[in-house]
Amino acid sequence: MPSIFAYQSSEVDWCESNFQHSELVAEFYNTFSNVTFLIFGPLMMFLMHPYAQKRSRYVYVTCFLFMLIGLFSMYFHMTLSFLGQMLDEISILWLLASGYSIWLPRCYFPTFLGESRSRFICLVVTATVVSTFLSFLRPTINAYALNATALHILCIVVQEYKRTRNKELRHVIEVSVVFWAFALASWISDRLLCSFWQRINFSYLHSIWHVLISITFPYGMVTMALVDARYEMPHETLKVRYWPRDTWPVGLPYVEVTDNDKSC
């Protein structure tokens, strides 16, 4: 039985040819396409700082987990080791758990919890710990399970899209869903249509997934912050801004918090 640290000890292998560009890096493009995680993570932590101070400092944890995903994904694709795979997938699991804990509106809580966020967080943490251990039983299906969880988040976002007339929220949701859909299409195509992409010498769709999903994260984060604000921050107004400039055709979204109450 190979060591969990050993190169290619994971049962998962993506479409990109192994060790084509380096003897030390199994999947070159899949490895270095994770750099975007290490750029957007600290940047979002900085841009969302005023919001985190008002809403929850656990927002920093979410950004930190996002950076960890980038690091662990780089390690996994560099080695294709079992340890790398598990670190990558478990960090994604905990990122999703942190998002649920902070931003899921109380109206979506299970009825037996009432509207207690502390109880809901305990439930999420317990479920995540159990899922972490279960992920070692059938590692090959972990990625599919994680994407299924993302579908639940999508369903909630669609419900909120139908309820709101806020043009900013609707726009951010639309952009988030488009980026996520293209990212998921890249992931599925790389997984299921690998022979086709190899025939035309274009086996880089998983690296495109990395870039697209790392762009989806800031939009998704802002989407959930705006949705959450309707329920949890009624006395504040969240304005969507874009880094580096609002006037640029593309940018990294974040939220600016202003009080609704005006002093005389």
- 8 A C-beta contact, residue 41 and residue 88: no
Which DSSP letter does residue 235 get? T
13 known member of a binding site = yes
- 8 A C-beta contact, residue 260 and residue 230: no
Q: Which amino acid is at 157?
A: V
Q: Which amino acid is at 95?
A: L
Question: Which residues, at least 6 apart from 237, have a Cβ–Cβ distance to it below 8 Å?
Answer: 257, 258, 259, 260
**φ, ψ (nearest 5 deg) of residue 260:** -75, -30
18 known member of a binding site = yes
Distance of CA 256 to the CA centre of its chain: 21
27 known member of a binding site = yes
Taking every pair of Cα atoms in the chain, the longest distance, rounded to a whole number of angstroms, is 73
Start-to-end Cα distance in the chain: 73
210 known member of a binding site = yes
261 known member of a binding site = no
Cα–Cα distance, 256 to 86 (Å, whole number): 36
201 known member of a binding site = no
Beta-ladder partners of 262: none
152 known member of a binding site = no
**φ, ψ (nearest 5 deg) of residue 144:** -65, -40
Q: CB count, 10 Å around CB of 186?
A: 20
HSE-CB at 102 with a 13 A cutoff on CA atoms is 25
206 known member of a binding site = yes
Summarize the annotated binding site as residue ranges. 13-14, 16, 18, 27, 77, 206, 210
List binding-site positions for Ca(2+): 13-14, 16, 18, 27
Binding residues for Zn(2+): 77, 206, 210
